[in-house]
């Protein structure tokens, strides 16, 4: 208790030092806790399912055709119960349905799953029963399992909900089960689960390589990943012998991958998050070095006190205990302040779009993160205590008492240690500055990358047809025509169109095609983006026509069927040739009786990511040739988004009051959202670099200011003997400059290593950018030079009489 009271008195006696020390460590701890909460939610925390380490994602890949992931219904029936490595296997497919609530229809995210889905995840229902095999047949699939959230909001948490019905896409759906509270499958927002119903034709072997189902599996106990992959490969080899598409599948390198469900889901952001955690780790190290320097300077000033305590009989343990208590008080205060700062950091991440990251909806600062923060703070406190105890116990009686006399100065070892810390601070700050610069340039290049269309003043929203009411092609085409006529009549609307695969909204819709004269070559079997559009689509988005003509509404009924392709596809199949009039089949084998004819070529368009490098090519066919279940409405308008939003919703309601228009927003915002994985790290790295710059300058200033105060009598004597102020200024400025240059030299090496590690997340910039290095050097040298100049200038203005009189 005496040590505790003494430590409190010492800290309150020096409020400036205490505030700077606590704030320095709090900022660094807060930044680390913020990023650690993200890393924990996305990378470290186990999925909330039974034995999540045995859950796998199983998908087909066709690298030769440019298709990375695919799955089909026949794969599910072929593999179910046939592979011993899998304890169970299931499929799912995300969708949405229209639900009537008090006469107000709204679209609700849903998921269609096979009967084993929840058993595969190891999630028991809170009430009711799972789906049965019979529910996979059309007509017997009008049942649903609800999430706890939907049960509470739509049925008011009715305990007798089993057997109740609700409207779902115009059909009456019976509730057969409710999921436990808090259930969420990965990043899905599905609130209703329906059976993955299908027709008997969908099970045929000819459909093995067609479809968009996702497959999950649970590994049997004791089975490792390599064994599961080996059994999957052997199974595929056997089935390829009877596969009607065997030749085409082998041409494109057909293979089925078995991967950890968790690892696969977060694969796209894993490297970025690891690099961010390393960045805040560097920031914490910088803060610890800065605080160590401050504590050493303070300990130097208290050397006489320590020597006096030793002379009065204080032992090593008593001195070490006093240091430990004082440091731990500082660290504890910093930990509490750091947690408060971390809550603000998480709000900042929310505004930057962190919830759009995989598993981003689970990011929170919980008790685990609080304990982690305390553990980090405790480790920092132990390291600082060991450093200070080592220094304090080296204080000898005579030299310690002489520090207050005319000849007293800090020891050469202490000076070297402080100078080494300054070099380390400058080097660490330089690494963070250069890393932030690379990420900033990468984001700038991504923002400057043309997407192939003009997104300004364009709104888009999603419409999905209900299962009932629009059962044939004619009804759906009639609704689209009626909707476009209504929307084009709105004030300010210049163009309106629909697209079943809108860029940055609907994802990719890839299909393999067979081109006349090219289908026999293995290298020419590729998948391309296929979209169904109306005639005004290219004018609505400002996509230029390069050759031929655009589609017309009459093309729905013409034979042969017309289509428009983009420049990438035309150059791939017909380099240096005229693509107009060329034919292809939307299948792996060319069928002259089922072809499309190219009537026009338009410019390339980015489909999902502004940084995508692979140019797969795109095909546009008339809306109505094949009728999709959903589409995006695209509107170019001179009116503001806020003004157009209610008008568009009213227009859709006039065409069909039961058809909601969902996700209505500007196309520009969709493009911006696709860059969240690049924008957030760049912003955060910039903030961390700014803090690092401040800490490096404060650390340099503190060391030099202390050196001036320690050598004030020496400076006064030199000036009294004729030394010029500029000589004194040059001496201290030169010392600071040498420390800064040494730090910059080490920093350049560290920046090169950091750039190499960041290469996978950079776009349009190399691992070592001379421009970034130059700007980082200039920025750091400028700020540190100011920190060097202030104490050097103070040294040059020492009054010899005042310096000698103070003795």
* pLDDT single digits (tens) 764-798: 888 888 888 888 888 888 888 887 777 777 767 66
Residues 6+ apart with CB under 8 A from 7: 322, 325, 326, 329
pTM above 0.75, yes or no: yes
Q: How far apart are CA 656 and CA 102, in angstroms?
A: 17
At residue 304, the pLDDT reads: 59
At residue 88, the pLDDT reads: 94
SS3 content of the chain, % helix, strand, coil (to 5): 55, 20, 30
Arithmetic mean of pLDDT, 430-459: 88
Residue 276 neighbours by CB distance under 10 Å: 25
At residue 407, the pLDDT reads: 44
Does position 313 have pLDDT exceeding 70, yes or no? no
Query: In terms of pLDDT, which residue wins out, 63 or 390?
Result: 63
At residue 307, the pLDDT reads: 62
Q: Are the beta carbons of 521 and 251 closer than 8 angstroms?
A: no
Q: Mean pLDDT lowest for which of 50-59, 287-296, 488-497?
A: 287-296
* % the chain with pLDDT above 70: 87
Confidence of residue 263 (pLDDT cuts 50, 70, 90): very high
Tokens of 172: 């009456």
Angle between helices 15-39 and 367-393 (to 10 degrees): 140
Q: Are the beta carbons of 619 and 531 closer than 8 angstroms?
A: yes
Confidence of residue 384 (pLDDT cuts 50, 70, 90): confident
Tokens of 733: 């400025």
Query: In terms of pLDDT, which residue wins out, 678 or 178?
Result: 178
Mapped onto helix, strand or coil, the DSSP state of residue 212 is: strand
Confidence of residue 755 (pLDDT cuts 50, 70, 90): confident
Mapped onto helix, strand or coil, the DSSP state of residue 114 is: coil
Question: Cα-flanking dihedrals φ and ψ of residue 455, to 5°?
Answer: -85, -5
279-297 in b/e burial notation, b at 16+ Cβ within 10 A? Answer: bbebbbebbbbbbbbbbbb
Sign of the CA dihedral 443, 445, 448, 449?
negative
Does position 81 have pLDDT exceeding 50, yes or no? yes
Query: In terms of pLDDT, which residue wins out, 786 or 224?
Result: 224
Q: Mean pLDDT lowest for which of 260-264, 366-370, 392-396, 436-440?
A: 392-396
Does position 21 have pLDDT exceeding 90, yes or no? no
Confidence of residue 406 (pLDDT cuts 50, 70, 90): very low
Question: Cα-flanking dihedrals φ and ψ of residue 255, to 5°?
Answer: -155, 150
Locus of tokens 């200024």:
729
Confidence of residue 287 (pLDDT cuts 50, 70, 90): confident
Look at phi and psi of residue 507 and say left if phi exceeds 0, alpha if psi is from -120 to 50, else beta: left
Q: Which of 10-14, 107-111, 286-290, 717-721 has the highest mean pLDDT?
A: 107-111
Confidence of residue 709 (pLDDT cuts 50, 70, 90): low
At residue 391, the pLDDT reads: 66
Arithmetic mean of pLDDT, 652-670: 88
Arithmetic mean of pLDDT, 794-805: 64
Confidence of residue 301 (pLDDT cuts 50, 70, 90): low
Confidence of residue 398 (pLDDT cuts 50, 70, 90): very low
Of residues 243, 216, 263, the one with CA closest to residue 59: 216
Does position 611 have pLDDT exceeding 50, yes or no? yes
Q: How far apart are CA 807 and CA 798, in angstroms?
A: 14
Does position 681 have pLDDT exceeding 50, yes or no? yes
At residue 714, the pLDDT reads: 67
- Bridge partners of 96? 109
Tokens of 31: 């930044």
Of residues 406, 448, 433, 348, the one with CA closest to residue 33: 348
Arithmetic mean of pLDDT, 456-461: 91
At residue 399, the pLDDT reads: 52
Tally of residues, the chain: 807
At residue 404, the pLDDT reads: 45
Does position 628 have pLDDT exceeding 80, yes or no? no
Confidence of residue 83 (pLDDT cuts 50, 70, 90): very high
pLDDT, tens digit, 9 for 90 and up, residues 558-581? 888 899 999 989 998 888 889 999
Confidence of residue 395 (pLDDT cuts 50, 70, 90): low
Arithmetic mean of pLDDT, 38-53: 92
Does position 85 have pLDDT exceeding 90, yes or no? yes
Arithmetic mean of pLDDT, 185-195: 93
Confidence of residue 161 (pLDDT cuts 50, 70, 90): very high
Confidence of residue 352 (pLDDT cuts 50, 70, 90): confident
Q: Which of 535-539, 613-617, 719-723 has the highest mean pLDDT?
A: 535-539
Q: How far apart are CA 591 and CA 514, in angstroms?
A: 8
Does position 523 have pLDDT exceeding 60, yes or no? no
Q: How far apart are CA 719 and CA 156, in angstroms?
A: 86
Sign of the CA dihedral 102, 104, 109, 113?
positive
Query: In terms of pLDDT, which residue wins out, 690 or 396?
Result: 690
Q: CA triplet 90, 217, 188: central angle to 5 degrees?
A: 70
Confidence of residue 694 (pLDDT cuts 50, 70, 90): confident
Arithmetic mean of pLDDT, 20-45: 89
Mean pLDDT of the chain: 84
Q: How far apart are CA 757 and CA 767, in angstroms?
A: 8
Q: How far apart are CA 599 and CA 493, in angstroms?
A: 28
Arithmetic mean of pLDDT, 649-659: 88
Whether the link from the prior residue into 76 is cis, omega within 30° of 0, is: no
At residue 525, the pLDDT reads: 72
Dihedral of the alpha carbons of 717, 720, 722, 725, in degrees to the nearest 10: 80
Query: In terms of pLDDT, which residue wins out, 371 or 512?
Result: 371
Does position 713 have pLDDT exceeding 60, yes or no? yes
Of residues 42, 29, 45, 43, the one with CA closest to residue 345: 29
DSSP assignment string, 329-347: HHHHHHHHHHHHHHHHHHH
Of residues 759, 786, 453, 754, the one with CA closest to residue 618: 453
At residue 295, the pLDDT reads: 79
Of residues 645, 800, 581, the one with CA closest to residue 712: 800
At residue 712, the pLDDT reads: 64
Strand 561-566 relative to strand 596-602, pairing: parallel
Tokens of 318: 């008593």
DSSP assignment string, 292-320: HHHHHHHHHHTHHHHHHHHHTT--HHHHH
Does position 393 have pLDDT exceeding 70, yes or no? no
DSSP 8-state code for residue 42: I
At residue 496, the pLDDT reads: 94
Does position 522 have pLDDT exceeding 70, yes or no? no
Does position 618 have pLDDT exceeding 80, yes or no? yes
Q: How far apart are CA 320 and CA 314, in angstroms?
A: 10
Residues 6+ apart with CB under 8 A from 504: 451, 606, 607, 608, 667, 670, 671, 673, 674
Residue 387 neighbours by CB distance under 10 Å: 18
Tokens of 273: 């998050």
Arithmetic mean of pLDDT, 336-356: 87
Does position 428 have pLDDT exceeding 80, yes or no? yes
End-to-end CA distance of the chain: 36
Query: In terms of pLDDT, which residue wins out, 454 or 786?
Result: 454
At residue 146, the pLDDT reads: 95
Does position 351 have pLDDT exceeding 70, yes or no? yes
Residues 6+ apart with CB under 8 A from 317: none
């Amino acid at each position: 208790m005496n040590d505790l009271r003494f430590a409190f008195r010492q800290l309150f006696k020096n409020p400036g030092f205490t505030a700077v020390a606590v704030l320095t460590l709090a900022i660094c701890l807060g930044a680390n806790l913020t990023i650690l909460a993200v890393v924990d939610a996305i990378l470290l925390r186990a999925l909330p399912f039974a034995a999540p380490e045995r859950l796998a994602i199983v998908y087909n890949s066709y690298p030769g055709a440019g298709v990375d992931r695919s799955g089909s219904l026949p794969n599910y029936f072929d593999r179910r119960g046939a592979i011993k490595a899998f304890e169970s296997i299931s499929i799912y497919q995300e969708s949405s349905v229209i639900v009537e609530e008090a006469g107000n229809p709204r679209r609700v995210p849903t998921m269609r799953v096979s009967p084993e889905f929840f058993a595969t995840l190891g999630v028991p229902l809170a009430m009711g029963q799972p789906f049965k095999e019979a529910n996979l047949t059309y007509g017997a699939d009008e049942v649903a399992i609800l999430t706890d959230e939907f049960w509470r909001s739509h049925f008011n948490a009715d305990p007798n909900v089993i057997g109740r019905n609700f409207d779902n896409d115009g059909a009456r759906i019976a509730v057969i089960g409710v999921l436990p509270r808090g259930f969420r499958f990965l990043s899905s927002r599905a609130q209703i689960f329906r059976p993955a119903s299908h027709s008997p034709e969908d099970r045929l072997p000819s459909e093995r390589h067609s479809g968009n189902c996702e497959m999950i599996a649970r590994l049997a106990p004791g089975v490792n990943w390599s064994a599961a992959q080996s059994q999957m490969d052997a199974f595929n080899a056997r089935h390829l012998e009877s596969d009607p598409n065997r030749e085409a599948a082998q041409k494109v390198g057909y293979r089925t991958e078995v991967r950890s469900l968790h690892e696969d889901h977060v694969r796209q952001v894993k490297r970025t998050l690891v690099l961010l955690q390393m960045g805040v780790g560097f920031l914490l190290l910088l803060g610890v070095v800065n605080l160590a320097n401050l504590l050493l300077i303070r300990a130097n000033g208290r050397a006489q006190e320590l020597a006096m305590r030793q002379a009065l009989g204080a032992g090593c343990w008593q001195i070490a205990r006093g240091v430990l208590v004082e440091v731990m008080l500082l660290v504890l205060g910093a930990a509490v302040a750091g947690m408060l700062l971390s809550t603000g950091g998480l709000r900042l991440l929310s505004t930057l779009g962190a919830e759009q990251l995989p598993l981003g909806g689970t990011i929170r600062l919980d008790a685990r993160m609080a304990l982690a923060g305390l553990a980090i703070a405790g480790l920092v406190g132990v390291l600082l205590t060991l450093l200070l105890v080592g220094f304090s116990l080296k204080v000898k009686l005579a030299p310690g008492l002489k520090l207050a006399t005319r000849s007293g100065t800090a020891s050469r070892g202490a000076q070297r240690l402080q100078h080494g810390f300054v070099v380390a601070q400058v080097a660490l700050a330089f690494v963070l500055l250069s890393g932030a610069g690379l990420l900033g340039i990468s984001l700038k290049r991504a923002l400057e990358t043309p997407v192939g269309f003009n997104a300004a003043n364009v709104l888009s929203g999603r419409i999905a047809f209900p299962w009932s009411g629009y059962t044939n092609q004619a009804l759906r085409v009639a609704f689209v025509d009626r909707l476009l006529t209504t929307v084009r009549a709105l004030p300010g609307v210049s163009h309106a169109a629909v697209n079943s695969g809108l860029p940055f909204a609907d994802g990719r819709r890839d299909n393999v095609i067979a081109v006349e004269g090219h289908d026999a070559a293995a290298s020419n079997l590729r998948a391309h983006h296929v979209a169904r559009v109306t005639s005004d689509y290219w004018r609505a988005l400002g996509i230029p026509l390069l050759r031929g003509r655009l589609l017309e509404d009459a093309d729905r009924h013409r034979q042969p069927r017309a289509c428009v392709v983009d420049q990438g596809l035309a150059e791939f199949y017909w380099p240096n040739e005229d693509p107009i009039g060329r034919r292809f089949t939307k299948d792996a084998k060319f069928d002259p009786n089922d072809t499309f004819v190219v009537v026009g070529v338009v410019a390339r368009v980015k489909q999902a990511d502004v940084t995508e490098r692979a140019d797969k090519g795109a095909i546009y066919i008339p809306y109505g040739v094949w009728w999709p279940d959903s589409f995006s409405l695209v509107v170019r308008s001179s009116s503001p988004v806020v003004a157009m939003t209610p008008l568009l919703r009213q227009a859709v309601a006039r065409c069909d009051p039961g058809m909601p228009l969902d996700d209505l927003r500007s196309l520009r915002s969709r493009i911006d959202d696709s860059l969240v994985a690049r924008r957030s790290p760049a912003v955060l790295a910039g903030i961390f670099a700014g803090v690092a710059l401040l800490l490096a300058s404060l650390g340099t200033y503190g060391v030099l200011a202390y050196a001036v105060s320690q050598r004030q009598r020496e400076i006064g004597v030199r000036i009294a003997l004729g030394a010029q102020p500029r000589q004194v200024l040059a001496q201290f400025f030169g010392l600071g400059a040498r420390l800064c240059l040494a730090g910059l030299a080490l920093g350049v090496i560290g920046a090169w290593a950091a750039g190499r590690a960041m290469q996978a997340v950079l776009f349009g910039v190399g691992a070592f950018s001379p421009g970034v290095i130059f700007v980082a050097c200039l920025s750091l040298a400028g700020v540190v030079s100011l920190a060097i100049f202030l104490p050097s200038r103070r040294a040059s203005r020492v009054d010899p009489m005042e310096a000698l009189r103070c003795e």
